[in-house]
Amino acid sequence: METREALKLIGCVILCELAGAIGAMFTASSITGWYSGLAKPALTPPNWVFGPAWTLLYALMGISFYLVYSSKSKEKKGAMIFFGAQLALNVLWSIAFFGLHSPLYGLLVIVPMWILIAATIWKFNPISRNAALLLIPYILWTTFAAYLNYSVFALN
Protein backbone atom coordinates (compact mmCIF):
# COMPACT_ATOMS: atom_id res chain seq x y z
CA MET A 1 0.00 0.00 0.00
CA GLU A 2 1.30 3.43 -0.95
CA THR A 3 1.98 5.97 1.78
CA ARG A 4 -0.83 8.19 0.48
CA GLU A 5 -3.34 5.31 0.60
CA ALA A 6 -2.15 4.28 4.05
CA LEU A 7 -2.68 7.84 5.29
CA LYS A 8 -6.20 7.87 3.82
CA LEU A 9 -6.96 4.59 5.58
CA ILE A 10 -5.58 5.89 8.88
CA GLY A 11 -7.57 9.11 8.45
CA CYS A 12 -10.80 7.20 7.85
CA VAL A 13 -10.24 5.05 10.94
CA ILE A 14 -9.34 8.09 13.05
CA LEU A 15 -12.49 9.87 11.87
CA CYS A 16 -14.65 7.01 13.12
CA GLU A 17 -12.68 6.61 16.35
CA LEU A 18 -13.12 10.36 16.98
CA ALA A 19 -16.88 9.92 16.69
CA GLY A 20 -16.54 7.24 19.35
CA ALA A 21 -14.40 9.52 21.53
CA ILE A 22 -16.99 12.29 21.32
CA GLY A 23 -19.71 9.84 22.33
CA ALA A 24 -17.52 8.55 25.15
CA MET A 25 -17.27 12.05 26.62
CA PHE A 26 -21.01 11.90 27.27
CA THR A 27 -20.98 8.26 28.31
CA ALA A 28 -18.08 8.01 30.75
CA SER A 29 -19.45 10.31 33.43
CA SER A 30 -22.84 8.56 33.43
CA ILE A 31 -21.64 4.95 33.71
CA THR A 32 -20.80 5.02 37.43
CA GLY A 33 -23.60 7.44 38.30
CA TRP A 34 -26.91 7.59 36.50
CA TYR A 35 -26.54 4.39 34.44
CA SER A 36 -25.48 2.24 37.40
CA GLY A 37 -28.76 3.04 39.17
CA LEU A 38 -30.97 1.88 36.29
CA ALA A 39 -32.75 -1.46 36.09
CA LYS A 40 -31.25 -3.41 33.18
CA PRO A 41 -32.20 -6.61 31.34
CA ALA A 42 -30.49 -9.89 32.22
CA LEU A 43 -28.53 -9.90 28.92
CA THR A 44 -26.71 -6.65 29.73
CA PRO A 45 -22.97 -7.22 29.37
CA PRO A 46 -20.56 -5.92 32.01
CA ASN A 47 -19.62 -2.26 31.48
CA TRP A 48 -16.02 -3.10 30.49
CA VAL A 49 -17.25 -4.89 27.32
CA PHE A 50 -18.61 -1.75 25.68
CA GLY A 51 -15.33 0.17 25.27
CA PRO A 52 -13.39 -2.57 23.44
CA ALA A 53 -16.47 -3.57 21.40
CA TRP A 54 -17.08 -0.04 20.17
CA THR A 55 -13.37 0.61 19.55
CA LEU A 56 -13.26 -2.44 17.26
CA LEU A 57 -16.53 -1.48 15.57
CA TYR A 58 -15.29 2.07 14.87
CA ALA A 59 -12.09 0.63 13.37
CA LEU A 60 -14.14 -1.66 11.10
CA MET A 61 -16.33 1.28 10.14
CA GLY A 62 -13.24 3.30 9.27
CA ILE A 63 -11.85 0.54 7.05
CA SER A 64 -15.24 0.16 5.42
CA PHE A 65 -15.46 3.88 4.77
CA TYR A 66 -11.94 3.88 3.31
CA LEU A 67 -12.84 1.13 0.84
CA VAL A 68 -15.72 3.22 -0.50
CA TYR A 69 -13.89 6.56 -0.29
CA SER A 70 -10.95 5.20 -2.27
CA SER A 71 -13.11 3.56 -4.93
CA LYS A 72 -13.61 4.99 -8.39
CA SER A 73 -17.37 4.43 -8.24
CA LYS A 74 -19.64 7.25 -9.33
CA GLU A 75 -22.03 6.16 -6.56
CA LYS A 76 -19.58 6.67 -3.71
CA LYS A 77 -20.62 10.26 -2.88
CA GLY A 78 -24.21 9.27 -2.10
CA ALA A 79 -23.03 6.24 -0.14
CA MET A 80 -20.66 8.39 1.90
CA ILE A 81 -23.51 10.76 2.76
CA PHE A 82 -25.44 7.84 4.25
CA PHE A 83 -22.32 6.80 6.16
CA GLY A 84 -21.86 10.32 7.55
CA ALA A 85 -25.51 10.54 8.58
CA GLN A 86 -25.43 7.25 10.50
CA LEU A 87 -22.13 8.27 12.13
CA ALA A 88 -23.67 11.57 13.26
CA LEU A 89 -26.63 9.69 14.75
CA ASN A 90 -24.19 7.34 16.46
CA VAL A 91 -22.69 10.32 18.31
CA LEU A 92 -26.14 11.78 18.93
CA TRP A 93 -27.27 8.52 20.55
CA SER A 94 -24.60 8.84 23.25
CA ILE A 95 -25.67 12.42 23.87
CA ALA A 96 -29.37 11.48 24.01
CA PHE A 97 -29.09 8.34 26.13
CA PHE A 98 -26.16 9.12 28.43
CA GLY A 99 -25.72 12.88 28.17
CA LEU A 100 -29.41 13.68 28.62
CA HIS A 101 -30.06 10.57 30.76
CA SER A 102 -32.95 9.66 28.50
CA PRO A 103 -33.64 6.11 27.32
CA LEU A 104 -36.62 7.56 25.42
CA TYR A 105 -34.47 10.01 23.47
CA GLY A 106 -31.98 7.18 22.93
CA LEU A 107 -34.74 5.11 21.32
CA LEU A 108 -35.77 8.04 19.15
CA VAL A 109 -32.20 8.19 17.83
CA ILE A 110 -31.24 4.52 17.62
CA VAL A 111 -34.15 3.52 15.37
CA PRO A 112 -33.28 5.93 12.54
CA MET A 113 -29.60 5.19 13.18
CA TRP A 114 -30.26 1.46 12.59
CA ILE A 115 -32.18 2.29 9.40
CA LEU A 116 -29.31 4.46 8.15
CA ILE A 117 -26.75 1.73 8.95
CA ALA A 118 -28.83 -0.74 6.92
CA ALA A 119 -29.10 1.80 4.10
CA THR A 120 -25.34 2.39 4.24
CA ILE A 121 -24.68 -1.34 3.93
CA TRP A 122 -27.06 -1.45 0.96
CA LYS A 123 -25.36 1.58 -0.66
CA PHE A 124 -21.82 0.28 0.03
CA ASN A 125 -22.46 -3.23 -1.34
CA PRO A 126 -22.37 -2.42 -5.09
CA ILE A 127 -19.27 -0.26 -4.55
CA SER A 128 -17.36 -2.68 -2.32
CA ARG A 129 -18.79 -5.92 -1.00
CA ASN A 130 -16.03 -5.99 1.62
CA ALA A 131 -17.02 -2.51 2.81
CA ALA A 132 -20.61 -3.69 3.23
CA LEU A 133 -19.54 -6.87 5.04
CA LEU A 134 -17.35 -4.91 7.46
CA LEU A 135 -20.49 -3.09 8.66
CA ILE A 136 -22.37 -6.31 9.54
CA PRO A 137 -20.90 -6.54 13.08
CA TYR A 138 -21.87 -2.89 13.58
CA ILE A 139 -25.52 -3.39 12.65
CA LEU A 140 -25.67 -6.57 14.76
CA TRP A 141 -24.23 -4.74 17.78
CA THR A 142 -26.57 -1.80 17.17
CA THR A 143 -29.50 -4.24 17.08
CA PHE A 144 -28.39 -5.54 20.47
CA ALA A 145 -27.89 -1.97 21.72
CA ALA A 146 -31.43 -1.12 20.58
CA TYR A 147 -32.74 -4.09 22.57
CA LEU A 148 -30.81 -2.89 25.64
CA ASN A 149 -32.00 0.69 25.11
CA TYR A 150 -35.62 -0.42 24.81
CA SER A 151 -35.32 -2.68 27.85
CA VAL A 152 -33.84 0.10 29.98
CA PHE A 153 -36.66 2.36 28.82
CA ALA A 154 -39.31 -0.26 29.67
CA LEU A 155 -37.79 -1.19 33.04
CA ASN A 156 -37.35 2.34 34.31
Name the CA dihedral angle for 54, 37, 41, 17, rounded to a multiple of 10 degrees. -10
Rg (CA), the chain: 16
Q: What is the mean pLDDT of residues 27-34?
A: 91
Burial level of 156, CB count in 10 A (0-12/13-18/19+)?
Answer: exposed
Report percent pLDDT > 70 for the chain.
100
Task: Confirm if 121 and 139 have CB atoms less than 8 A apart.
Answer: yes
pTM for this structure?
0.95
Residue 1: what pLDDT?
75
CATH level 2 (architecture), domain 3-155? Up-down Bundle (1.20)
Nearby residues of 85 by Cβ (< 8 Å), 6 or more positions away: 116
Domain range annotation of the chain = 3-155
Q: For residue 9, name the pLDDT band (cuts at 50, 70, 90).
A: very high
